[in-house]
Amino acid sequence: MKKIMLLGIALLLAAGTLARAEENPVPRIAWYGNLADGLAEAERSGRPILLISGAPACLGVPGVW
């Protein structure tokens, strides 16, 4: 019983460590989420295009790529 409690506390502490706000958010790609705006911006700015597509669901369940 004591071991289970200790394991539970350890897991809670680990979760607390992993799930916390980022003090300095890491740099991330800024994605256009639609084709028309992205193409128009590429034409306007003369920048090439990094195009990716993905379904915002896995096995039909949303919230994960």
Partner 1 sequence: MQGNIRSFLVNDQVVKASRSFVCIRLLTYENEQEYEFMERLLRVQSGTLPNTVFCLLAPDGKTKLTRSGRGPSFAYSNASALASGMKQVADKYPMAHENALSDTRLPRVHKVDVALNTAACDNRPLVVTVAGDRDELAKVDSTLLRLAWSEQFAGQFVFGSTTKRKDLRPLAGANETSAILIVEPGTYGVSGTVMAQLDTGASGEEIQQALAGALKDFTPQVKSHNAHIQTGYNLGIEWETVIPESDPQSVRAREAFKARQQRRQ
Burial of 36 (0-12, 13-18, 19+ CB in 10 A): exposed
Closest distance to partner 1 from the beta carbon of 13 (Å): 13
Within residues 26-65, the interface with partner 1 by CB under 8 A covers 26-35, 37-65
Nearest to 50, CA basis, from 65, 28, 32, 27:
32
Q: Examine residue 10 and tell whether it contacts partner 1 (CB under 8 A).
A: no
Tokens for 35, please give them.
């084709």
Q: Compute the least distance from the CB of residue 7 to partner 1, in Å.
A: 17
Q: How far is the CB of 15 from partner 1 (least distance, A)?
A: 7
